[in-house]
Amino acid sequence: EDIRVYEFAEACGKSPAEVITVLFGLGMMVTKNDFLKQDELEILGEEFGIEVTVKDALEDANYVEDYQEEEIDESNFVTRPPVVTIMGHVDHGKTSLLDKIRSSKTAASEAGGITQHITAYTIKQNNQKITFVDTPGHAAFSAMRARGASVTDIVIIVVAADDGVKQQTEEVISHAKAANCPIIVAVNKMDKEGANMDMVKAQMAERDMTPVDWGGEIEFIPVSAKTGEGIDDLLENILLQSEILELSADPEAKAKATVVEASLEKGRGPVATVIVQNGTLRVGDNIVCDTTYGRVKAITNDLGKQVKELGLSETGRVLGLNEVPVSGTIMVAQDSDKEAKDIATTRAEHARAKELSKSTKVSLEEMSGLIAEGKIKQLPVILKADVSGSLEAIKTSLEDIHNDEVKVKVIHSGVGGITESDLILASASEGCIILGFNVRPTGAVKSKAKADGITINTYSIIYDLIDDIKDALSGMMSAII
Ligand code: GDP
């Protein structure tokens, strides 16, 4: 069960101050109304020489309940299409590949003039379906998995044939391996002069990703997102891998779908893009999705057409939730609207109680104050920028800002939008703030940051960013002097 600092103190006959002092000494800032985390409880247990048993929080129990399959009846199982994620180093052609596959496999009449890039879509190859999902990055991919939503069956790692393995390629390899699903390497930009398949194979083999024709297990498919070369091979390969996986699910079960993106749309309300993992999601279904709930009012498929239902591994945009859900959460159909509402409300109450205890997450100004009081020795930041050039420049400038008492610590930096995985990382480091340069959080990320009490500051001028951070630190300088 969750326990607050003062409750814990009471339970072991100490004063809240004693408890707070112990944690302060270890750099963990809590106030007496905060809920204690498991690691903090363990530390306190050791410190006070008492035994602390940590039971599952009620909230966790609630989550688990939904993720468990009810009455699995394998006799209803049918083969389901694979869900594929493409990841790779920036500029290696992930977006181009996703767009090319979609456009070359969608009849012009069907596409109905849809040209814009979308989060998820389903195509047919030899009359077999494949669903592709675009994740904002490999960190987001893993954050989703951390939340229990492993929507991906097969990972495609895209590597540009003229550029080879880069830092993010290496990160992607680790994330994909951790996900424990089959990997296919798409060697892209084969149309370019300087494309070198063998170089890519050699670099990948060095990283334990040995090609099949070199005696390993990984398929390397030469492709070009520009000319469309190799796309059929890639799709055939996906189908082969998918056959080996024997993916199956029950189309008659209560619908369960993963939210891959969600936003608030003018005139339509909350819209969630989902991929169905089990069952069939129908218009009229009562649904619950983390702390949000509702009844499916309408579904539009990936071609923008209204449909009555979404089948296994299919994707579409669902209208009818009362609020915007966080991506990575799982939408589950319930028997009645009352049930859906009750589950969501209980979770929301829990979330609210936690939010009230979030006094350790602070704004830049408050941070400056805490630094002034000598309570903080470093200002942890997460830095995101639109291009690697500015990222490196800002990172270097930030790490230059320091003095004897305090310094800036960039705990993570990356090219790309501010995502939920940044929030996860920020909430794991006391007092961490997120800085964005020419990038912004999506609506869902923004509202989650607000709910979690995490500060996100975005800038379009480097000096403004640097100045803000300097001010935060020098505010403390003058306060000390
Ligand atoms: P992402 O960052 O991985 O999503 O990469 P993009 O899809 O945005 O592609 C980066 C750049 O490479 C763009 O300018 C694309 O036009 C270009 N590009 C992508 N695929 C190919 C390809 O197969 N051949 C050539 N010549 N250029 C490509």
Q: How far apart are CA 222 and CA 274, in angstroms?
A: 31
Q: Diameter of the chain by CA atoms? A: 75
pTM: 0.65
Whether 224 is in the pocket of ligand 1, judged by its Cβ within 6 Å, is yes
**What pLDDT, in 10s, does the model give residues 205-222?**
999 899 999 999 999 999
Looking at residue 68, its pLDDT comes to 42
Q: Which of 86, 91, 166 to mutate to test the pocket of ligand 1 (most atoms within 8 A of CB)?
A: 91
- Ligand 1 center to residue 229 CA distance, Å? 14
Mean pLDDT over each residue of the chain, to the nearest integer: 83
Looking at residue 69, its pLDDT comes to 44
Q: How far apart are CA 417 and CA 7, in angstroms?
A: 40
Contact in structure between 273 and 263 (CB atoms under 8 Å): no
Closest C-alpha to ligand 1, atom 10: 91
- Ligand 1 center to residue 163 CA distance, Å? 12
**What pLDDT, in 10s, does the model give residues 1-58?**
577 888 888 877 788 777 877 776 666 667 777 778 777 787 787 777 776 665 543 3
**What pLDDT, in 10s, does the model give residues 179-212?**
788 999 999 999 999 999 999 999 999 998 999 9
- Ligand 1 center to residue 300 CA distance, Å? 29
Compute the half-sphere exposure of residue 371: CA atoms within 13 Å on the CB side of its CA. 32
Whether 225 is in the pocket of ligand 1, judged by its Cβ within 6 Å, is yes
ipTM: 0.99
